Structure 1
Amino acid sequence: MNVVAYYRVSTKSQGDSGLGLEAQREYIETAAKANGWNIVGEFVESGVSGSIPLEERPEGSKAISLCKESKAPLVVAKLDRLSRDVEHIAGLMKRLTFKVATMPNADTLQLHLFAMLAEQERTFIAQRTKDALASLKQRAEGGDVVSQEKIERRSQALAKGRTEANRAKAHAVVGSRVNSFHASVQPHLEACLYRGLKSLREVAECLNARGVATSRGGQWSAIQVSRVMQSLSLSFVQE
């Protein structure tokens, strides 16, 4: 069976150093040998958060396109490489066949349960971080010098993260994702337009009938079609 491999690390430093990626690749290669999978494509996402929908990630959208083109399932090392959000995982299950190397024989129900556990763990981590910060602030206010220094370092780190350069970089990343998505739907849009359709609503219905999802995995509307057509400088075919 042909499969498409997808790897993701949340920070660019992990991607540059190979930390995390090597382990993910080992998981998938081991599962491929054990289950007779033939890896026909590999996509590496570096410095991209799991909170971003797969179809909105630069490499994620390419991986999905290859999966549809080759009619092959997507394979990840662990479920959280796709997402820790249950709703996102459930939506992917409806639109894409995927397998997890660490549990290659898991069915849809089991994957959904693991997604629920992953989301719960994310909630626990967030709460532990919040509680730890509250405790740190309390000690700092009580005169603990070490706690005060930790609070100061954290404040400096947050301030650094809000620099204009970082904001510009974030906008550039978002723009890249949008452009990548628009490029992926352009052939489908052009195919609908070449059929002689004359309204945005008809084009939206055409895209939905072809199974092309929006960037958020939903159905197309006339206004969404209008925005993408303007971005791609597409117009209705003149007779």
Structure 2
Amino acid sequence: MKLVAYIRVSTAGQVSDGYGLSVQEKAVRAWAKAHGHKIVHMVREEGVSGAKDAVDRPGLSEALLMIQEKTAEGLLIPRLDRLARAVTVQEATLMYVWRHGGNVFTADAGEVLADDPDDPMRTAMREMAGVFAGLERRMIVKRMRDGRAAKAAAGKKAVGAYAYGTHGQGEGRDRDAAPNPAETAARARILELRAAGTSYRGIAEQLDTEGLKPRRAAKWSAMVVRSICQKAELT
């Protein structure tokens, strides 16, 4: 059977369960090969919540269109919660595929059988799995929010990137900003040059000459130097 494979990660999901796109792709390809199916297209959707409707997920819309246009005979996903983390979205998507004559398969459990009026338990069990997937997502969000609140209450850094010259140190709620030895010298040099009246552009050029590196870019820019100086003034 010709299948369109759909794999997805959201920011929270990727961090919490380690089930990244490469792992998902490996799973669906292995399942398709083992069961004699051909993946005609692989749809990857990154940073997209499973709570969104298909219309708000370009990748999922693309996969469903292939089912509708008969360029694929079925939809293959690593597991059901990659399709959706909201039971309403899950059920609407499954119904769409079945309505257009397609089949749905998951790499962890095989075919997701269409509803059967003589077997209402089949539908109920699938819907309950969807409900618990949604609950898991909301619990993850709540734990993250509670953790940030607890860190903020303890006077620790709770959100946002660490300022230049610092990095994260510690685990969980004990993680906080700490001096970054690789950046501390550069930050001190920036402030020294600025105090001497050097322009932001001049500081950037001097740092490059001295071999002091910015966090991400290959060379310093006046804008990055300016940002570091402004943040230093606020502390």
> What TM-score do you get using the length of structure 1 for normalisation?
0.51
The 8 Å contact of residues 67 and 74 in structure 1, kept in 2 or not, is answered as yes
1:170-216 Cα deviation digits (max 9, x unpaired): xxxxxxxxxxxxxxxxxxxxxxxxxxxxxxxxxxxxxxxxxxxxxxx
1:4, CA displacement in angstroms? 0.9
Unaligned runs of 5+ residues in structure 2 are 99-103, 115-122, 162-235
Report the number of matched residues: 140
Contact 2:83 2:90 in 1 (8 A): yes
Distance 1:83 1:58, change over 3 A: same
User: Match of 1:48, SS?
Assistant: coil
SS in structure 2 at match of 1:124: helix
Amino acid at match of 1:42: M
- Between Structure 1 and Structure 2, which shows a larger proportion of strand residues? 2
Is residue 144 of structure 2 the alignment partner of residue 129 of structure 1? Answer: yes
Q: How does 1:136-175 map to 2 (within 5 A)?
A: 136-138=151-153, 140=154, 148-151=155-158, 154=159, 156-157=160-161
The aligned amino acid for 1:101 is A
The offset of 1:32, in angstroms, is 1.0
Residues 69-92 of structure 1, C-alpha deviations (whole Å, 9 max, x = no match): 125121111222221001111111
Contact 2:51 2:89 in 1 (8 A): no
Question: Larger C-alpha radius of gyration, 1 or 2?
Answer: 2
Structure-to-structure mapping, 1:201-216, within 5 angstroms? none
Matches within 5 A, 1:17-28: 20-28=20-28
Q: 2:108 aligns with which of 102, 110, 115?
A: 102
Q: Which runs of 5+ in 1 are unaligned?
A: 141-147, 158-239
Other-structure match for 1:170: none
* Alignment match, 1:197: none
List per-residue Cα deviations over 1:97-129 (Å, max 9, x = no partner).
422111114435343232122111112222323
Q: Which amino acid aligns with 1:104?
A: G
Q: CA deviation at 1:66?
A: 0.8
SS at 1:150's partner residue? Answer: coil
If asked which structure has higher relative contact order (CA below 8 Å, sep 6+), I would say 1
Distance 2:144 2:48 in 1: 21
The match for 2:68 is 68
The normalised TM-score by structure 2 is 0.52
Cα distance, 1:96 vs structure 2: 1.5
Root mean square deviation, CA, Å: 2.4
Q: Per-residue CA shift, 1:7-39, capped at 9, x if unaligned?
A: 22335xx8xxxx822211111112112322221
Alignment deviations for residues 210-236 of structure 1 (CA, whole Å, 9 cap, x no partner): xxxxxxxxxxxxxxxxxxxxxxxxxxx
Q: Which of the two has greater helix per residue?
A: 1
Alpha-carbon separation, structure 2, partners of 1:96 and 1:41: 16
| Aligned-partner Cα distance in 2 for 1:136–1:41 | 44
Aligned to 1:167: none
Name 1:4's counterpart in structure 2. Answer: 4
8 Å CA contact 1:54, 1:82 repeated in 2 = no
Moved over 4 A (4+): none
Q: How much does 1:64 deviate?
A: 1.0
3-state DSSP class of the match of 2:28?
helix
- Which residue identity lines up with residue 5 of structure 1 in the other structure? A
3-state DSSP of counterpart to 1:107: coil
Measured in 1, the distance between the counterparts of 2:34 and 2:127 equals 23
Q: CA, structure 1 residues 104+20, in 2 after alignment: closer, same or farther (shift >3 Å)?
A: same
Cα distance 1:74–1:106, how it changes in 2: closer, same or farther (>3 A)? closer
